[in-house]
Amino acid sequence: MRVAFIGLGDIGEPMASHLARDPFDLVVWNRTAAKADEFARRHKARVAATPAEAVREANVVITCLPSSIEVEAVLHGENGMLDALQKGTVLIDCTSGDPPTSRSIAAELGGRGVEFIDAPVSGGTSAAKAGALTVMWGGEITVFERVRPVVEAFGKKIVHAGPVGAGDALKAVNNALLAVHILSTAEGLAVLVKAGVDPKVALDVINASSGRSNSSENLIPQRVITRAFPRTFRLALLEKDIGIAAVMAEDLDVKTPLISLTAERFHEAREKLGEQADHVEAVKMVEEENRLEIR
Ligand code: NDP
C-alpha cells in the first residue's frame, strides 16, 4: 500500500515511523526539507520535493499539520495536493482540525472521487512512539475499513466518532478539558503553596482523591515539580484546540463560560511564553502571577 505522510512535526514524525515498513511503501514531505531528509536517513522512506509529488501515486495520504488552515494550504497552495490526488485515494487528516473546514475539504474532495476522514489522535508523543495512540475519526465506515491497517500501525484505541468533523469536535473538547485541568490544578496548588502545604504532599492526597486528573497524576509531578518542562506539545496548539471548542460552543448555542475563560487564559499564556513553549508551561504563568514555584 503506497502511503504519503505530510508533516513530520513533534507527533507526525513518530507516527510516520510506524509506516516506514512493509507492507507500506512510504513517501514523506515536510515543509522544512531537512527534517524529511533526516527521517529518510533513519527510516525506510522516500522524500518528495512537493506535496503534489508526495501524493501523486499514493493510495492513502496522511496529513498531520498544526491546524486546518495549513491542511488547506497544502491542498490548495503552490505544488499542492489537490490536482495530484488520484481518484480512489483516501486522505486521512490526523491534524486536530476544525469541523467546518474538514467538512468543506471532504465535500471538495468528494467531487473528485477522493475520500476524506478526519482522524485526530491523543496520547501524546510517548504513545505515538509506542504506536499506541487513541484515534477518533469521522467519516464513512466503508472508507475507513479500506485504510484501517494504516491507522492501526500507529493507533491502539480506534473509535468512530460520527460523520466527517466528529473526530475534530471530540478532540477539541478533550483538549479543552486538558487545558482546564492544567490551569485549575496549578491554581489549586498555588493556593496550597501559600498556605504552607508541600505541593508533593498535596498531589499525593489529590491523586488518591476526587480532584485528580491526568494533570495532577502525570503532567505536574513529571514536568512541573521536576522543573523539566519538556517540549512535547506546543502551547500554541492547545490554545488552537480550546479556540475550536469555544467556537463550536458558540455556534451550537451552548453556554460554556469555563471554556471561554480558559481560552482567554491560554491566549495570554501564548502571548507571554511564545510559539515554541510547551503546553504545561502555562503553569509558569500562574506561578509568576503569584510569585511562587510549584516544586
Ligand atoms: P508541530 O508544530 O511539532 O509540527 C507541525 C508540522 O506541520 C511540522 O511538520 C511543520 O513543518 C508543518 N507545518 C507547519 N506549518 C506549515 C505550513 N504552513 N505548510 C506546511 N507544513 C507546515 O506540531 P505537532 O506535530 O505537535 O502537531 C501536529 C497536529 O497534531 C496538531 O494539530 C496538534 O494539535 C496535534 N496533536 C499533537 C500532539 C502532540 O503531543 N504533539 C498530541 C495530539 C495531537 P516544519 O517542520 O517546516 O515546521
Pocket test for ligand 1, best of 65, 74, 239 (most atoms within 8 A of CB): 65
Mean pLDDT of 202-210: 98
Mean pLDDT of 21-39: 98
Distance 10 CA to ligand 1 centre (A): 7
- Measured by CA distance, the residue closest to atom 26 of ligand 1 is 10
Residue pLDDT, tens place only, 39-62: 999 999 999 999 999 999 999 999
Whether residue 156 lies in the annotated active site = no
pLDDT class of 141 with cuts at 50, 70, 90: very high
Q: How is 166-185 classified by DSSP, letter by letter?
A: HHHHHHHHHHHHHHHHHHHH
Strands 46-47 and 60-63: unpaired
* Phi, psi dihedrals of residue 91, rounded to the nearest 5°: -100, 115
What is the chain's mean pLDDT, rounded?
Answer: 98
CB 31 near ligand 1, within 6 Å: yes
pTM of the model: 0.98
**Under a CB-based contact definition with an 8 Å cutoff, are residues 229 and 281 in contact?**
yes
User: How many C-beta neighbours within 10 Å does residue 68 have?
Assistant: 24
* Phi, psi dihedrals of residue 210, rounded to the nearest 5°: -85, -5
3-state secondary structure of 274: coil
Residue pLDDT, tens place only, 211-257: 999 999 999 999 999 999 999 999 999 999 999 999 999 999 999 99
pLDDT class of 13 with cuts at 50, 70, 90: very high
Residue 95 Cα: closest atom of ligand 1: 32
Residue pLDDT, tens place only, 156-189: 999 999 999 999 999 999 999 999 999 999 999 9
In single-letter form, the type of residue at position 127 comes to A
**Under a CB-based contact definition with an 8 Å cutoff, are residues 59 and 90 in contact?**
yes
Predicted confidence at residue 10, as pLDDT, reads 97
pLDDT class of 66 with cuts at 50, 70, 90: very high
Residue pLDDT, tens place only, 100-138: 999 999 999 999 999 999 999 999 999 999 999 999 999
- Measured by CA distance, the residue closest to atom 17 of ligand 1 is 70
Predicted confidence at residue 240, as pLDDT, reads 98
Pocket test for ligand 1, best of 11, 35, 219 (most atoms within 8 A of CB): 11
Burial class from Cβ neighbours inside 10 Å (0-12, 13-18, 19+) for residue 167 reads buried
Catalytic residue among 87, 129, 157, 171: 171
pLDDT class of 64 with cuts at 50, 70, 90: very high
Residue pLDDT, tens place only, 251-284: 999 999 999 999 999 999 999 999 999 999 999 9
Predicted confidence at residue 254, as pLDDT, reads 98
Give the integer Cα–Cα distance in Å for 1 and 83.
Answer: 21
Give the integer Cα–Cα distance in Å for 91 and 83.
Answer: 13
Cell numbers found for residue 230: 519538556
